[in-house]
Structure 1
Amino acid sequence: MYIRDYLVKIAEDITERPLPSFSSESEYFLWKKNKQIQFQQMLGIDTYLNEQRSPLNVTITGTLKSDTHRIEKLYYESLPGLYVTANLYIPNDLKHPAPAIVYLCGHSPTQKVKYQDHPRKFAQLGFVTLIIDTIQFGEVQGMHHGTYAHGQFQWTSKGYTPSATEVWNAIRGIDLLTERQEVDQNRIGITGHSGGGAISWWTACCDDRIKAAAASSGTGTIASQVRERTIDTHCDCIFPNNPYGWSLIESYALMAPRPMLIISPDRDRNYTIESVRLVYERLKALYSNLGFKENIQLFDFHAHHSYSPDSRKAAFSWFLKHLKGEENSENKVNDIDGKQESEKELLVYQGKTPPNDESTTVQEWLIESKELPLIQSSQELKATKKNLIKKLMTESFAAFAKHNIPLAVETKQKYFSNEETWHHKFSFVSEYNWKIPGELWGSSMKASNSPTAIYLKSTANTDGFKFHKIPIIHDLPSEWQRAMIEVRGTGESAWGTEMNWNVRRSLALTGRTIASLRVWDVLRGIQAIRSRPEVNPDKIIIAAEKDMTVPALYAALLDSRIYAVILKDPPASQDISSNANGSDNVIEIINSLRHTDLPQLAGLIWPTKLIFLGNRPKNYRLSEDIHKKLGEPGGVWRMQELSDLNI
């Protein structure tokens, strides 16, 4: 199987998964409550939602007045030091609290300046409207295009995407509106275009205070994003962190049964119209099942990735109907009037950014990493390891097969390379009929049922099955048997490094990473090798170098019978970036850094013995200390070669 075939298959399988059928509205709301909690955890904002919120510290820097409304130029702190610039449009002569709209901008350098026509029109229609800038654009500095343009694939390990920050900033925008006396807090809607359309979905899915929504050019399916590679055109914020492998439709379903308008042009480069219509049909069935079929609507039109006069009017009418109770307004509402304030008039900071602006580093601290407790005894280690494995299996490796897949081990060839050395080439099935090649070899002069060292084929090793070129296992004592397995992306299943950028982003969208696929391959390979009569199942060593040390460590954690792990030049952490094209440091695992990092992992594999070759980053002293403190049957070695190894 080729990687593209695999990506398309899992993306289509996820998308085709049906939504539940609910026998009652109360059954749906119970399902939604549980899923919403999970969704907030996926984003990583659950902690902030469940604790007392910090003061918004709203600062108004100026006011503009017109015949129909005034504009307050302001900024607020969604978290201490995380500043959000915004313009608040307030209709003139309000006699009662009015409905309100949160408007979320698409990716434009000028943000609220470019999209000002929309809050202006909403204000003219009687809505208090808050339009906010996004990270990296407008007046809010920072990094939005992490994996898209800057090789920040460690964001996947952190469980971070900018959608978390944007959703949180929008939620605090709702908080701001509810504190205004001009606003009826029971009539708040949300809308936006492109990235703003996607964040409109995710905010409404998180926060039930949103009573109606309209998403323009922000709706699609995982299948289409992967199959047609429209993911390649998207910024990171379009997709939430997805450790559980949800379909986008499952996430969208959290909006039901509140009024939802999907707006989409039929020639959108970023979303195929077929995928948008599929989402609509699936959600319409859910809304109908709940008895609210009139609350969801699709407005499609012939255009590129953009608004049209009619699509804007459809959005204005939607909110007039569902937040103001004005029926049949479709043919009465006009389009935008085209009048605009200048950029200079609308800017909030006027070039004077507040000191200690944390928006430039939000990706580093928004998602907290939990420090593991200090290990003082084997009992503490066992408890910590058990809890960590439970977390990882839930939040990092949820895509691992839940049913028994036959290994289907096949012997491909048996031969002797000389009078003393025999070789068995074999393959086994990892998943989806993906066959992983391997080879086992040893000395015919030694007894069977021998200890075995498994080398994980590395993209750094390009010499195929030239075993004398693998010094890690070649230098082991002669009584050891050797093996090698070609985990995905190496050997026969290798793809060009130019594919890594797309593969890494696509896999994360489905709840996987290249490294997590390799962890699974290693676990399956160990099973296959343990099944061989020549192998002592309790004397298995995993040997790996550089990137491949990451799946080696995770496999050793999950398989408690590994005898030893040899790490040559391991990375210091999973919190390191890659090249912009994604060609190096292919080590991310979804959410792993929320719970552990490589030095902690190397310590927690005790009593599996730990052997370092080459460079051992200094932060691995933590893992050495654990192994030394707990002693046998574990142990730690630092060596330059393995010929003298005696374990």
Structure 2
Amino acid sequence: MHMKHYLNQIARQMTEKPLPSFASEADFQRWRRQRQAQFHQMLGIDVYLNRPRTPLNVTITGTVECGTHKIHALYFESVPGLYVAANLYIPSNLSRPAPGILYLCGHAPKQKIHYQDHPRKFAQLGFVTLALDTIQLGEVHGIHHGTFSYGMFHWISKGYTPAAPEVWNAIRGLDLLSKLEEVDPDRLGVTGHSGGGSISWWTICADDRVKAMATSSGTGTIASHVRERTLDTHCDCNFPNNPYGWSLIEAYAIAAPRPVLIVSPDSDMHFKIDAVRQVYERLKAFYTHLGYERNAGFMEFHGPHSYSAESRKAIFSWFVTHLTEEHAVPEEMSDVDGIKESDDNLLVFRGNVPANDESTSVQDWFIPHARLNEINSKAELAEERRRAVKLLSEESFAAFPKQKLPVELVWEQELETNRFWLRQFSFESEPGWRLWGEIKGETGAPLAPAPAAISLRPPGDVRGIRSMELLQGLTSEWLKVRLDTRGTGDTAWGSELNWHIRRALALMGRTVASMRVWDALRGIEAVRTMPEVDEERIVIAGQGEMAVVALYAALLDGRVSAVIVRDPPGTHQVAADADGREGMLEIINCLRHLDLPQAAGLLWPIDIVFIGNRPDTFRWTETLYRTLGEPGGIWRLSSLADWPGSERAVSKRKGHGPS
């Protein structure tokens, strides 16, 4: 199967997955609460929701009177040091608390200034409106384009997306609005365009205080984003972290049954109109099933990725209808008046961002790093390994096929000389993927089941030689196996596709590395069925990025007897090149639970052999192995000929005692 075909197939299957039906309102609400809690965890904001909110420390830096309303230029801290620049529009002559609107800016330069027409009109309609800059393009300058522009694919391992702090900033914006004496906290809405349209979805999904939402040019499907490659035009912030492989439609459904209006032009290069229509039709049916058909709205107009007079009037009337006691129709609404305030009236910091601004490093600290519990005994290690494998299975490898089919081992070719014999084989990793390998032994070696060393073919190994070279130094009694996981050998794809593949797979709850871990597990399973192999004496080896695959495959398999790695990376927290061509180390959410040295440490008591460079981070692994002692062994060698475990494996096969 070609990788692009596979991406399209998985994206289509995810998007076509039906939404659930419910026997009662109570059943629906239980489902929604459970899904919302998962959504908080996916984003990583559960950490912040589960502890007391920190002070907002709202600071007003300027005010301008506009007749129908006034505007405060202000900032607040969503967490200490994370500054959010905003403009607060308060209607004049309010006689009672008014509904509040949170306006989320899209990716335009000088965001709240560029989009000022919209909060201005809302204020003229009687809504207290808070317009927020994003972390990236407003007055603070953090990074949204981590995987898009800078090769920061380790964000995927962290379970980090800039959607997370943007949603948290929006939640704190709702906190600010709800505390104003001019605002009725039971009548809050959220809206925005483009990236702001996407974050509007994620904010209503995350916070039940939002009673109505309108999203402009922020709605799509995974199938469309992958098939038409509109994903390639999107900032990282458009999508939540997705370890469970939800479709976007499944995520949008958390907003039900609250009023949602989807607004989209028919010529949007970022969100194809057919996909937007599909979302609306699916959500409309879902809302109808729940008995809230009128709460799902859709407005389509002719044009590119932008607002129009018609779309703005549809949005304004939506909030008048759903957040006030009036009913409005778009045709009777007036559009924005086109009056613009000067930049100086709307700027908050005017170039003087507070010195301790944390927005430039938010990607480093917003998702807390995992810390393993202290391990001082074999029992503690066993418990920590059980816990880690469970969490990784649920949050990093959830995309593994649920139904494990037979590997269907097929012998493809055989060769025998007076020095060695070689057999090529294939096996099925998952439907549509038949992968290759070869097993090699020395002619004349004993025929009894022998220990086998499986070497994972690295990308770029054109003839499959480098993978076998890694096993040099093993004695003649060893069987040597080369295993070609996806993206190597016959299933290799051009490296220019890597950038798209890596972003698409993460959107669908998997990564190249996690797919290769599955392939390695299936390959181990296939090798165990071979009569010449001692199934209890199997070693797995990998070099470079394939060392990551070897370590996790060994941890999940639980039966391999050793891991051999050459020049492994020292951590998942390594940025790739901007085009994403190399270093495919990311595994979704793994850094929320452990890093590579901890994954290796949890392999005790099996041997770990480092050939070549051993990064300093693995001192943690060596310390743990020393603490727990024998029978675990960890080695730094220049050749496998010096590894005592090689002879132990052979001795066991000959019946010479335990290893």
Structure 2 length-normalised TM: 0.97
> What secondary structure sits across from 1:473 in the alignment?
coil
> What secondary structure sits across from 2:470 in the alignment?
helix
Look up the match of 1:446: 445
Question: How far 1:623 sits from its partner (Å)?
Answer: 0.6
Matches within 5 A, 1:230-629: 230-416=230-416, 418-448=417-447, 449-462=449-462, 464-466=463-465, 470-629=468-627
Q: Distance in 1 between matches of 2:258 and 2:587?
A: 35
Q: Distance in 2 between matches of 1:42 and 1:482?
A: 41
Q: In 2, are the aligned partners of 1:320 and 1:329 still within 8 Å (CA)?
A: no
Q: In 2, are the aligned partners of 1:146 and 1:155 still within 8 Å (CA)?
A: yes
> What secondary structure sits across from 2:439 in the alignment?
strand
Look up the match of 2:87: 87
Question: How far 1:327 sits from its partner (Å)?
Answer: 1.3
Question: How far 1:577 sits from its partner (Å)?
Answer: 0.4
> What secondary structure sits across from 1:76 in the alignment?
strand
Question: How far 1:394 sits from its partner (Å)?
Answer: 0.5
Q: Distance in 1 between matches of 2:622 and 2:634?
A: 6
The one-letter code matched in structure 2 to 1:616 is R
Q: Distance in 1 between matches of 2:519 and 2:132?
A: 45
Question: How far 1:631 sits from its partner (Å)?
Answer: 2.4
Question: How far 1:331 sits from its partner (Å)?
Answer: 2.4
Deviation digits for residues 219-276 of structure 1, max 9, x if unmatched? 0100010111100000000000000000000000011110000000011001111110
Q: Which runs of 4+ in 1 moved over 6 A?
A: none
Deviation digits for residues 397-444 of structure 1, max 9, x if unmatched? 00011112121111101111x213111101111112201101111123
Q: Distance in 2 between matches of 1:249 and 1:50?
A: 27
Q: Distance in 2 between matches of 1:116 and 1:104?
A: 11
* Alignment match of 1:640 (pick from 638, 641, 649): 638
The one-letter code matched in structure 1 to 2:581 is S
Q: Distance in 1 between matches of 2:554 and 2:471?
A: 17
Look up the match of 2:152: 152
Q: Distance in 2 between matches of 1:69 and 1:178?
A: 19
Matches within 5 A, 1:30-179: 30-179=30-179
> What secondary structure sits across from 2:167 in the alignment?
helix
The one-letter code matched in structure 2 to 1:643 is A
Q: In 2, are the aligned partners of 1:477 and 1:642 still within 8 Å (CA)?
A: no
Q: Distance in 2 between matches of 1:484 and 1:633?
A: 28
The one-letter code matched in structure 2 to 1:441 is K
Matches within 5 A, 1:168-247: 168-247=168-247
Q: In 1, are the aligned partners of 2:318 and 2:328 still within 8 Å (CA)?
A: no
Q: In 1, are the aligned partners of 2:570 and 2:597 still within 8 Å (CA)?
A: yes
> What secondary structure sits across from 2:641 in the alignment?
coil
> What secondary structure sits across from 2:471 in the alignment?
helix
Look up the match of 1:22: 22
Q: In 2, are the aligned partners of 1:456 and 1:487 still within 8 Å (CA)?
A: yes
The one-letter code matched in structure 2 to 1:202 is W
Single out whichever of 341-350 and 191-200 deviates more from structure 2. 341-350
Single out whichever of 345-354 and 313-322 deviates more from structure 2. 345-354
Deviation digits for residues 493-541 of structure 1, max 9, x if unmatched? 1111111100000000000000000000000000000100010111111
Q: Distance in 2 between matches of 1:534 and 1:293?
A: 64
Q: In 2, are the aligned partners of 1:190 and 1:213 still within 8 Å (CA)?
A: yes
Question: How far 1:475 sits from its partner (Å)?
Answer: 2.4
Q: In 1, are the aligned partners of 2:62 and 2:345 still within 8 Å (CA)?
A: no
Q: Distance in 1 between matches of 2:260 and 2:431?
A: 37
The one-letter code matched in structure 1 to 2:613 is N
Question: How far 1:460 sits from its partner (Å)?
Answer: 4.5
Q: Distance in 1 between matches of 2:464 and 2:591?
A: 34
Q: In 1, are the aligned partners of 2:85 and 2:140 still within 8 Å (CA)?
A: yes
Superposition RMSD in Å? 1.0
Q: What are the ranges of 5 or more consecutive residues in structure 1 without an aligned counterpart? A: none
Question: How far 1:75 sits from its partner (Å)?
Answer: 0.2
Single out whichever of 331-340 and 453-462 deviates more from structure 2. 453-462
Q: Distance in 2 between matches of 1:480 and 1:460?
A: 26
Q: Distance in 1 between matches of 2:229 and 2:34?
A: 32
Q: In 1, are the aligned partners of 2:461 and 2:489 still within 8 Å (CA)?
A: no
Question: How far 1:325 sits from its partner (Å)?
Answer: 2.5
- Give aligned pairs, total: 644
> What secondary structure sits across from 1:452 in the alignment?
strand
Q: Distance in 2 between matches of 1:608 and 1:234?
A: 44
The one-letter code matched in structure 2 to 1:412 is E
Q: Distance in 2 between matches of 1:8 and 1:432?
A: 15
Question: How far 1:18 sits from its partner (Å)?
Answer: 0.3
Deviation digits for residues 175-216 of structure 1, max 9, x if unmatched? 000110000000000000000000000000000100000000
> What secondary structure sits across from 2:22 in the alignment?
coil
The one-letter code matched in structure 2 to 1:9 is Q
Q: Distance in 2 between matches of 1:578 and 1:234?
A: 19
Q: Distance in 1 between matches of 2:376 and 2:353?
A: 48
Q: In 2, are the aligned partners of 1:556 and 1:608 still within 8 Å (CA)?
A: no
The one-letter code matched in structure 2 to 1:131 is A
Question: How far 1:121 sits from its partner (Å)?
Answer: 0.2
> What secondary structure sits across from 1:314 in the alignment?
helix
Deviation digits for residues 329-364 of structure 1, max 9, x if unmatched? 322210000000111221000111112000110000
The one-letter code matched in structure 1 to 2:468 is I
Q: Distance in 1 between matches of 2:510 and 2:622?
A: 30
Question: How far 1:284 sits from its partner (Å)?
Answer: 0.5
The one-letter code matched in structure 2 to 1:132 is L
Q: In 1, are the aligned partners of 2:320 and 2:328 still within 8 Å (CA)?
A: no
> What secondary structure sits across from 1:77 in the alignment?
strand
Structure 1 length-normalised TM: 0.98
Single out whichever of 328-337 and 312-321 deviates more from structure 2. 328-337
Q: In 2, are the aligned partners of 1:599 and 1:620 still within 8 Å (CA)?
A: yes
The one-letter code matched in structure 2 to 1:435 is R
Look up the match of 2:653: none
The one-letter code matched in structure 2 to 1:552 is A
Q: Distance in 2 between matches of 1:436 and 1:628?
A: 38
Look up the match of 2:656: none
Q: Distance in 1 between matches of 2:83 and 2:339?
A: 28
The one-letter code matched in structure 2 to 1:510 is M
The one-letter code matched in structure 2 to 1:326 is E
> What secondary structure sits across from 1:526 in the alignment?
helix
Deviation digits for residues 560-589 of structure 1, max 9, x if unmatched? 111110110010100110100001211000
Deviation digits for residues 447-469 of structure 1, max 9, x if unmatched? 2310011110001433x2347x7
